[in-house]
Structure 1
């Protein structure tokens, strides 16, 4: 089953709807979707290394726009949708502390967390909830999310062939490593941040 999913993802990554799928996942992840866009970005860059940076920019811009939806959820729908999403990540009781941290360090929170595998939807929803400046949020998100995906693209352009060989030879281990990164981001959010 894992091999079929991998083959399907590679086919999607090389297919005509790849860019739309990447943009959709990037947008959704920044506001409500649990999986990072790397699940599509990595195979797409491996399949088309000549388009690595273009794909990274697509990912960064789409993620920033999705972050605007997350911001709106935090600003306008926090008591319903926003709180539910935040509670899924175990942050429901920490929102007042988050709001205070945003008042003092909002710029650094957005920049640093935008570069990490920590779910960005937490940053976008909290920014809206905290009433962080929308224009500044947009530009900080664009910088941090674009840098994050450009770094992935650069690494894959440089080391893509060995990565592809590793994934294809050890697919189960690669899937476990991806799962560890995704779950690790959630664990960091719940217990460390």
Structure 2
């Protein structure tokens, strides 16, 4: 079954769409506020489909993500109790939010660097930074560094790998996809029953 190869081919087609760059910028912006799908999920196929533009796509993702983070910060600062907290509870992010509050108390601005670079939901930290009245300039600087590091790492790897990487990845995408799916099921079972 080559379901992942078909998905990969579809992603490559979508990544070359004439509005793909605008969609990437929009997704990167809203992902920093509320959108559940990470920017990397769109940046990686777009960079793979056009490796010569990988670094400029990383730059676009960085700028729009940081701008979204600033909006998230402002929403957290101005509408946390009335708007953000009910949404966090509704979408099941309350435990993540509570951890974020503890991490902000323990690590300060460093937590923004970690959240902006890692797969931890960055949006929780943008909203929490505003709600906790974190100093704005350190928040923005940490966001720029972290988001740029993540997106330029993706863009740089794709640019370095170029066209051969795209073809090699397509060759093994079904093995990779099934492997990740099996690992996810095992992790879920361990988490749920152990």
TM-score tier (shorter) = 0.7 to 0.9
Offset at 1:28?
A: 1.2
> What is the distance in 2 between the residues matched to 1:17 and 1:178?
30
Q: 1:114–1:141: 8 Å Cα contact kept in structure 2? A: yes
| Equivalent in the alignment of 2:130 | 128
Offset at 1:3?
A: 5.4
Offset at 1:61?
A: 0.8
Calculate the TM-score normalised by the size of structure 2.
Answer: 0.78
Offset at 1:76?
A: 2.0
Q: 2:51–2:163: 8 Å Cα contact kept in structure 1? A: no
Matched residue of 2:108: which SS? Answer: helix
> What is the distance in 1 between the residues matched to 2:179 and 2:111?
26
Offset at 1:58?
A: 0.5
Q: Deviations over 1:50-99 (max 9, x none)?
A: 11111101111111111122212322222243224433564425756643
> What is the distance in 1 between the residues matched to 2:179 and 2:34?
23
Name which of structure 1's ranges 119-128 and 69-78 shifts more when overlaid on structure 2.
69-78
**Structure possessing the higher radius of gyration over alpha carbons:** 2
Matched, 1:57 2:55: no
| Equivalent in the alignment of 1:191 | none
Offset at 1:125?
A: 1.1
| Equivalent in the alignment of 1:14 | 16
In the TM superposition, 1:155-170 aligns within 5 A as 155-161=157-163, 163-170=165-172
Q: 2:55–2:159: 8 Å Cα contact kept in structure 1? A: no
| Equivalent in the alignment of 1:45 | 47
In the TM superposition, 1:17-28 aligns within 5 A as 17-28=19-30
Name which of structure 1's ranges 163-172 and 135-144 shifts more when overlaid on structure 2.
163-172
- How many matched pairs? 183
In the TM superposition, 1:24-173 aligns within 5 A as 24-87=26-89, 90-92=92-94, 95=97, 98-161=100-163, 163-173=165-175
Q: 1:32–1:85: 8 Å Cα contact kept in structure 2? A: no
> Which ranges of structure 2 fall in alignment gaps of 5 or more residues?
189-194
Calculate the TM-score normalised by the size of structure 1.
Answer: 0.79
> What is the distance in 2 between the residues matched to 1:22 and 1:167?
22
Q: 2:58–2:148: 8 Å Cα contact kept in structure 1? A: yes
| Equivalent in the alignment of 2:191 | none
Offset at 1:172?
A: 4.0
